[in-house]
Chains A and B, each alone.
Chain A
Amino acid sequence: MKTLVRPFICSEGGKPMSLKSRFSSPKIRLIAITTSALLAIAGFTVPNAAQAASVFKVATSAAVTTWDPIQSFSTEAFYMTNIYEPLLWKNPDGVSPEYAPALATSWSASKDGKTWTFKLRAGATFHDGSPVTSAAVKASFESSKKVGGAGFIWDALKTVDTPSDDTVVLNLSYAAPMDLIASSTYGAYIVNPKALDAVAKDAKYFESGKDGGSGPYTISSYKAGSSVVLTAYSKHWAASKPAYSTIDISIVSDGITAQQMMTSGQVDWATNIPLTSMTSFKRNNKYSVIKYKSPFNYVGYFNTLRAPLNNPKVRQALSMALNYREITAVGGQGYATQSRGPVPAGIYPYDAAIPQYQMARTKAKALLASAGVKDLTIKITYASENSAEARFVPLIKDAFEAIGVKAEVQGILFNQQWAAAKKDPANAQDLFIVKYWPTYSDAGVDNLWSLFHSSAKPFFNLSYWKNTTYDKLVDDAIELSGSDKAAAQKLYSQAMMILYNEAPGLYLYDEAQVSVVPKKFDIPKYNINYPFSAFFAGVKLSS
């Protein structure tokens, strides 16, 4: 502090002034007051910890695209699994039994697999107190099938019968695993019929933070882009009450900010720590770094409508240009492995026999020459909010340039990237990089279908690729999945071989989920079936 005050001490002419006259100067006084105030503020840090004990503070990047449980198809899944419930949950890998009852206590399928009966839980209520009945289930499923963000999961559903208040019968047009589908992370929530009526009248009904759920938490406040506060629902059916009655979630778009909030004590847990920080967290004995298998992978779509990308040879050449080892290392920071096709390892119908492209640049150049390609420029788009893509996409550009193909890179927010891709396929990007995960643990129905099956309007097939052999293989496999998994797998594998040979996309890498958990807390294990969700009801202090 002395250095701050000294310049003012000298008078004109450089004669030192007495102490008294020093502080009589108004400027000095101002400085002194300001600095002592600053010191006081800096010292005044920690509020009363005891009173905040039942609040669990979280930082996440999960933005809320919509609060509508039927429309929901994005990162708001983080919150949704605490507010809403499906009929049943799929347990994490390795846990037995495979499913945990939620709003349904038991279920069974007919011999032909086309009729499923679910018995509903007694005493389950929505947050407004009204009981969860079969009518609610019927309304929710029908709404989801008709307009839902993930409505496609109900493709097999023909009709829903409600013989009694606590029994639901699903009649299917073909055999399908309804237990798996009804446990989906999107599109399978049971919603309060009153809320469904309200949103039918006003599409924005949910957006201010209203919910029509039955889960252990309800939304008590929502500040868009800023925070979500969940409070425990006192009449929830579960036997044990959550340890934390309030979950305060700060929405922070940068991983580094969330990380800093956790390490400085502002929040108890941050869920989107950048992978590049893992090394230093591993050295920090206040935290555990846990690696889980995840259904995430990175895929690139070629725009197969545009010459010369409509020539499989060109696509193969481009596939051979990449240095997969580097891309996986840089993107995954040690937590990723190169993909085999678009199905992530460990998820049905993954097949370890599917080949991978390796870097072979001489061969690639030869292929390009044989296809008669010179002066090709590829426009690559990626999601700017995804730091892994931001890291490895330059490597893709490098790789293409190494075989004589120029590349332009554009990083834009995912919603814009997607909108631009669907607007005008012929003039859209040439290579679309995306992080993908299946809606429920079946990457045949999801990844293989959504990503590469042809459709009139591009859904997720942003390669705009159309291959009728592939389409038939996948369609047939889906139909068989319910009854003969082995036969279905055979068809899927054939389809995946086509994907390898025709290379409508780049299959980059499968990424693990890495959680940083403060040792102070006991947080439920990551559940691969709900890859974007956290279950707060199970959070408690470590014993």
Chain B
Amino acid sequence: MKFLFKDKLTSMASTLLILFIFLAIFGPLVAPYPKEGRGKANVDNSFIGPGWKHLLGTDELGRDLLSRIIFGARPALLIALAVVGFAAVIGTLLGLIAGYRGGWIDSLIMRVSELFLSFPPLLLSLVAVTFLGPGLVNALIALIISWWPWYARLIRVEASIVKSKPYVEISAAMGVPDRVIILRHILRNVTTPLIVQIAADLGTVILAAGSLAFIGLGAQPPAADWGLMVAQGRNLIFDQWWISTFSGMAIFLAVLAFNILGDALRDHFDPRISRQ
């Protein structure tokens, strides 16, 4: 774990990440104005600029921006975990089936995942969420649809390599079912690239979810969603600049932390391979 603090940059990222997770869990207890963070309006306080009472100012409904941003940490993290989690699970499952079975199932699954991968990233999510309708759950589904192919491909490649390895045959001769062997060996081989990819994907998903919300196809008001808050502040950027600025900064810092962490993980597990 020490590598997470190996230099200033990585230390900063790790600290940010710890802060992010802390806020996701304990945010409601730490926020200076928890009711407002949750969404309660305080109309008489609208559009107060950053200052002592409200460190980051207030929004159009008078809600303390810092509290709103803190409350936004939990959904952001949950979305990231949900999308990456489901995508990894679905992708892994499909990749295992494809690699283990081989034959036409393999071809089908691989063709389909290549197809999905040939869509410019995010476009598929945008199209899917358009037809599903705006909302957080639909955005989640749309993002999972875009993210699973990479995991499927990774697992499938490993599965088909491992399947033909001699130790599989040997273990099978010794009575161990080959599914167990394959699973064990696959997992051993894919752990590193999987972890690195998950770390990077967590950041990318936060970015993607924020982008969907910014356009209006993601979380709906009055959710404390960072992307949504940037969009809400857009009509106000010249005078009440703090709303979009700080909400966007939250997204930026979260993604930055995950990206730096991903780098650190990659360097740690295989310093020679600087690029996947």
Contacts and interface: CB of A to CB of B under 8 A. Distances in A.
Nearest to A384: B216
Contacts of B216: 384, 411-412
A280 B222 contact: no
B60 A391 contact: yes
Contacts of A410: 133-135, 220
A411 B133 CA distance: 10
27 contacts: A254-B234, A255-B235, A276-B47, A276-B235, A276-B236, A276-B239, A276-B240, A277-B236, A277-B238, A279-B239, A280-B238, A280-B239, A326-B41, A330-B60, A394-B221, A394-B222, A395-B41, A395-B43, A395-B61, A397-B39, A398-B40, A398-B222, A410-B134, A410-B220, A412-B133, A412-B134, A412-B216
Interface of A: 254-256, 259-260, 274, 276-277, 279-280, 326, 329-330, 384, 387, 390-391, 393-395, 397-398, 408-412
Interface of B: 39-41, 43, 46-47, 60-61, 133-135, 216, 220-222, 232, 234-240
Contacts of B40: 398
Contacts of B39: 394, 397-398
Contact of A390 (B43, B46, B232, B239): B232
A398 B134 CA distance: 20
Contacts of B133: 410, 412
Contact of B43 (A326, A393, A412): A326
Contacts of A395: 41, 43, 61
Contacts of A409: 220-222
A397 B222 contact: yes
A329 B46 CA distance: 10
A391 B229 CA distance: 12
A259 B236 CA distance: 11
Contacts of B41: 326, 330, 394-395, 398
A234 to B, nearest CB: 40
B240 A411 contact: no
Contacts of A256: 234-238
Given A256-B235, A277-B236, A329-B43, 20 more contacts: A256-B238, A276-B47, A276-B60, A277-B238, A330-B46, A330-B61, A384-B216, A387-B235, A391-B60, A393-B221, A394-B61, A397-B222, A398-B41, A409-B220, A409-B221, A410-B220, A411-B134, A411-B221, A412-B133, A412-B216
A390 B223 CA distance: 12
Contacts of B235: 254-256, 274, 276, 387
Contacts of B134: 410-412
A500 B60 CA distance: 30
Contacts of A279: 239
| Top 7 A-B pairs, shortest CB-CB distance | A394-B222, A326-B43, A256-B235, A274-B235, A409-B220, A394-B221, A280-B239
Q: Name which of B60, B216, B235 has the most chain A CB atoms within 10 A of its CB.
A: B235
Contacts of B237: 256
A277 B221 contact: no
B130 to A, nearest CB: 10
B52 to A, nearest CB: 22
Nearest to A281: B239
Contacts of A411: 134, 216, 220-221
Nearest to B60: A391
Nearest to B46: A330
Nearest to B40: A398
Contacts of A274: 235-236
A32 B61 CA distance: 48
A475 B221 CA distance: 40
Contacts of A408: 220
Nearest to A382: B221
B158 to A, nearest CB: 42
A326 B63 CA distance: 13
